[in-house]
């Protein structure tokens, strides 16, 4: 590791999720809002629609506040978190995209300046100048999306950059365009949804249906853009990544399907309450539709982040900051000699190097449940076998000794009592627990790398034989190092499955 490790105790994934989620919502709102404001202002001025202009003026206050305060704060927050989470990956991104980022910040400064002028300019500027400032606000906001989109999509699909190292190959990577238009659709939808939320609080007079319909049409246009562009986006991701996700990542894929449902719910609500009975568009519906919209976006972002595993930059760097270029050297020399900042506690340093960017012992993505009641040899085998455990983890590249040191570190922080004591179990139920701990992370019954075919129908004796030679069944498969009670219970559990016992 080239950087000292700052252990803040909480999961970085959680920190990142919270800050990044707020940031992406706010930034997309701000961009869509910019477009909404200028387009609606133009129409309203043409028709000399006083009510609409009043509405827009109020709305612009929110957009400006949100962009300037939340957008900027969370944007800076993201830099802090990624610096903690993965300094090496952050460094790689800065090295490649420093001018991209400089350009993005320039656009952001233009965006907030124009947004402030736009807000204060309602009474102080001519209509024409005000509109021009509005367009500058939207244009600069969208350009900052254009640039950041190049960097975000790069992390999943670096494309030809992997071979050429060329800035433009990385920037205009295979998912750049579909993602840009998809996000533009999202911006428009979210702006419409927010405007709807504000409109939902209006008294059901003559203006309300007009306003609600107008805003619903915005959201629907955004949604209509999102459907084909999402399809385009999904198909632009290399098939290997998609295939692995479909086969091995049930949760992100469930999130993908969830997002389809969400989009459907938004569409139905918008057509029904937005277009057909706009007078009934009340606050509850407004909030609900907003929640659907935000959930959709959350599901999308989460999917995008998840399917990148085990990489932080696909094909270039693992999630724990180990670059593929250094794999050979680490395999030969081990980790310790290549950690620049050592604390004197080798086990802790190794754990941080290999695991801590994704796991904690007891909090976020905790390892405790997996290792409570396990022995040192088993934990060491698991450390060495991370690449065959479910979850698409990077391989452990350290030496045998380093795997033991890492295991010792973990062992010292989990519950070392017997499984039966920890969970108060015996018989088949204890066996199920033994299976969960000693087999389940690598062979999920009915799921990831299921081995039930090889285990079903065997006698107690055959099962015993399998446990005796467990270490020979696969290179990374651990020896069975549980005691005789665990062994009996495990066999009892497996036998019970033959009789249709619950998995
Ligand atoms: C790039 C991120 C990453 C790194 C680095 C990583 N893991 Fe994981 N690990 C995961 C994910 C994701 C899962 C899937 C479990 C989940 O969805 O919570 C997982 C699952 C596991 C499981 C199975 C847990 C279960 O529920 O069965 C174990 C055990 C485990 N990891 C141990 C380790 C150890 C030991 C290391 C370090 C040598 C390590 N991991 C490094 C991301 C990572
Ligand atoms: C660290 C991961 C890991 C753990 C834990 C693990 N295995 Fe395995 N197992 C493997 C690997 C790797 C292979 C060989 C490659 C393959 O078939 O996936 C394998 C192979 C097997 C096979 C041979 C499959 C065949 O095709 O005939 C059986 C049976 C099996 N494991 C059962 C178990 C049982 C029972 C446990 C718990 C006591 C267990 N494994 C624990 C990783 C693991």
Say how far apart CA 422 and CA 19 lie, in whole Å.
Answer: 36
Say how far apart CA 436 and CA 442 lie, in whole Å.
Answer: 9
Say how far apart CA 144 and CA 138 lie, in whole Å.
Answer: 10
pLDDT in tens, 300-332: 988 998 899 899 999 999 999 999 999 999 999
The tokens of 300 are what? 């999308």
pLDDT at 356 over 70: yes
Atom 21 of ligand 2: nearest residue by CA position: 473
Q: Calculate the average pLDDT of the chain.
A: 93
CA-440 nearest atom, ligand 1: 27
* Residue ranges, CATH 1.20.1630, the chain: 12-246+262-318
* The pLDDT of residue 357: 85
Q: Which residues contact 162 (CB under 8 A, 6 or more apart)?
A: 315, 316
Is there a contact between 195 and 350 (Cβ–Cβ < 8 Å)?
A: no
pLDDT in tens, 276-287: 999 999 999 999
Q: Which CATH number fits domain 12-246+262-318: 3.30.160, 3.40.50, 3.30.420, 1.20.1630?
A: 1.20.1630
CA-318 nearest atom, ligand 1: 1
Q: Report which of 366, 397, 55 is spatially closest to residue 212, judged by C-alpha positions.
A: 55
Residue 355 near ligand 1, beta carbon < 6 Å:
yes
Residues with C-beta less than 6 Å from any ligand 2 atom: 382, 385, 388-389, 438-439, 441-443, 449, 451, 454-455, 466, 470, 473-474, 476-478, 480
Say how far apart CA 432 and CA 392 lie, in whole Å.
Answer: 24
Place 84 in a pLDDT band, splitting at 50, 70 and 90. confident
**Stronger pLDDT, 358 or 184, i.e. the higher one:** 184
pLDDT at 1 over 70: no
CATH architecture label of 419-498: Orthogonal Bundle (1.10)
Q: How far is the CA of 90 from the centre of ligand 1 (A)?
A: 22
Residue 405 near ligand 1, beta carbon < 6 Å:
no
Place 168 in a pLDDT band, splitting at 50, 70 and 90. very high
Q: How far is the CA of 435 from the centre of ligand 1 (A)?
A: 17
Half-sphere exposure of 427 (CA within 13 A, CB side): 2
Place 115 in a pLDDT band, splitting at 50, 70 and 90. very high
* Residue ranges, CATH 1.10.760, the chain: 343-411, 419-498
The CATH code of the domain at 343-411 is 1.10.760
Say how far apart CA 358 and CA 350 lie, in whole Å.
Answer: 14
Q: How far is the CA of 491 from the centre of ligand 2 (A)?
A: 15
- Name the 3-class secondary structure at 281: coil
Q: Mean of the pLDDT values across residues 191-198?
A: 93
* C-alpha dihedral, 96 to 11 to 345 to 79, nearest 10°: 30
CA-357 nearest atom, ligand 1: 5
**pTM across the whole model:** 0.91
- DSSP H stretches of helix in 48-126: 50-65, 72-85, 87-120
pLDDT at 429 over 70: yes
- DSSP H stretches of helix in 326-457: 327-333, 346-351, 368-371, 376-384, 400-411, 419-423, 427-435, 452-455
Ligand 2 pocket test, pick from 248, 375, 436, 442 with the greatest ligand atom count within 8 Å of Cβ, gives: 442
């Amino acid at each position: 590791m080239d950087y000292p490790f700052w252990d803040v105790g909480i999961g970085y994934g959680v920190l990142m999720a919270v800050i990044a989620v707020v940031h992406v919502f706010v930034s997309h709102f701000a961009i869509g809002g910019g477009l909404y404001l200028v387009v609606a202002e133009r129409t309203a001025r043409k028709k000399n629609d006083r009510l609409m202009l009043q509405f827009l003026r109020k709305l612009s206050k929110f957009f400006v506040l949100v962009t300037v305060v939340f957008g900027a704060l969370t944007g800076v927050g993201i830099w802090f978190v990624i610096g903690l989470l993965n300094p090496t990956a952050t460094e790689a991104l800065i090295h490649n995209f420093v001018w991209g980022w400089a350009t993005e910040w320039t656009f952001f400064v233009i965006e907030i300046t124009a947004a402030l002028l736009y807000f204060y300019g309602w009474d102080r500027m001519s209509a024409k100048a005000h509109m021009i400032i509005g367009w500058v606000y939207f244009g600069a906001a969208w350009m900052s999306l254009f640039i950041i989109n190049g960097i975000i999509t790069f992390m999943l699909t670096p494309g030809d950059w992997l071979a050429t190292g060329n800035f433009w190959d990385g920037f205009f990577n295979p998912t750049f365009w579909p993602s840009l238009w998809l996000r533009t659709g999202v911006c428009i939808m979210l702006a419409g949804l927010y405007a709807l939320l504000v409109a939902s609080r209006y008294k059901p007079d003559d203006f309300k249906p007009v306003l609600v319909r107008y805003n619903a049409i915005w959201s629907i246009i955004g949604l209509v853009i999102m459907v084909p562009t999402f399809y385009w986006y999904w198909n632009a991701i290399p098939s290997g990544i998609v295939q692995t996700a479909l086969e091995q990542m049930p949760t992100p894929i469930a999130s993908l399907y969830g997002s389809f449902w969400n989009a459907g719910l938004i569409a139905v609500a918008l057509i029904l309450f937005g277009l057909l009975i706009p007078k009934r568009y009340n606050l509850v519906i407004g909030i609900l539709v907003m929640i659907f919209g935000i959930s959709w976006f959350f599901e999308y972002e989460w999917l995008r982040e998840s399917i990148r595993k085990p990489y932080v930059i696909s094909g270039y760097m693992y999630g724990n900051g180990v670059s593929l270029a250094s794999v050979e050297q680490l395999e030969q020399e081990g980790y310790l000699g290549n950690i620049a900042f050592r604390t004197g506690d080798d086990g802790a340093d190794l754990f941080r190097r290999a695991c801590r960017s994704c796991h904690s012992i007891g909090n976020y993505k905790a390892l405790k449940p997996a290792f409570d009641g396990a022995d040192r040899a088993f934990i060491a085998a698991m450390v060495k076998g991370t690449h065959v455990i479910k979850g698409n983890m990077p391989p452990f590249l350290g030496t045998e000794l380093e795997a033991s040191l890492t295991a010792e570190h973990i062992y010292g922080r989990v519950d070392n009592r017997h499984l039966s004591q920890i969970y108060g179990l015996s018989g088949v139920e204890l066996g199920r627990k033994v299976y969960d701990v000693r087999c389940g992370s690598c062979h999920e019954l009915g799921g990831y790398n299921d081995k039930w075919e090889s285990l079903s129908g065997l006698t107690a004796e055959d099962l015993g034989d399998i446990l005796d030679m467990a270490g020979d069944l696969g290179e990374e498969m651990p020896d069975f190092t549980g005691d005789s009670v665990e062994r009996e219970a495990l066999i009892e559990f497996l036998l019970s499955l033959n009789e249709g016992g619950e998995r």
